[in-house]
Amino acid sequence: MTVAIEMGHTTAGASAALDLEELLATRLLVQGNSGSGKSHLLRRLLEQSAPWVQQAVLDPEGDFVTLADRFGHLVIDAEDHTERGLQIAGERARIHRVSTVLNLEGLDAENQMRRAAARPFRGHPRPLVPDAGGG
C-alpha cells in the first residue's frame, strides 16, 4: 500500500506528494534560513504521517506539543525528568508504540543537549525529528 503525504501544490497546480514508504527508507534533511518554513514543513510531515507512523519528536522550542491534542502524542517535558527517567520513558514508548514529543523548552542549550543525549528514543523504530526552531 502506498501512502502519499500531501505537501501542497506545484506551480502548475498539480498535487505535490511524498511517498511515505520511500521517505521512511531514506533520510531527510530540512534546512533553511530563519522564517523559511522549516517548522511548518516538519509539522505538515508529522501531521500527514501520524496515522501510519509511530513518531518521536525532539522539540527544543515547544512548537510540536500540540500534536498531543490532535493525534494523541505523549508529551514528555524534559525539564521535569532526569536523564535516566527519560531513558525509561523512551523504552516504554517503544514497547507500547506511543508517538512522543520530548519538549525541551525551558531548558538552557546545555541542558537541552544533555536531555537529548540521554537518548530517550534510542532504538526507536520510526523517524526522529529534531527541530532547531527559528522558522
Domain range list for the chain: 32-130
The pLDDT of residue 10: 92
CA distance 104 to 23: 26
The pLDDT of residue 107: 95
Give yes or no for residue 88 having a pLDDT over 60: yes
- Whether the Cβ atoms of residue 39 and residue 113 lie closer than 8 Å to each other: no
- Confidence grade of residue 135 (pLDDT, cut at 50, 70, 90): very low
Per residue in 38-56, pLDDT tens? 888 889 999 999 999 889 8
Instruction: Give the 3-state secondary structure percentages of the chain, helix then strand then coil, rounded to 5.
Output: 35, 20, 45
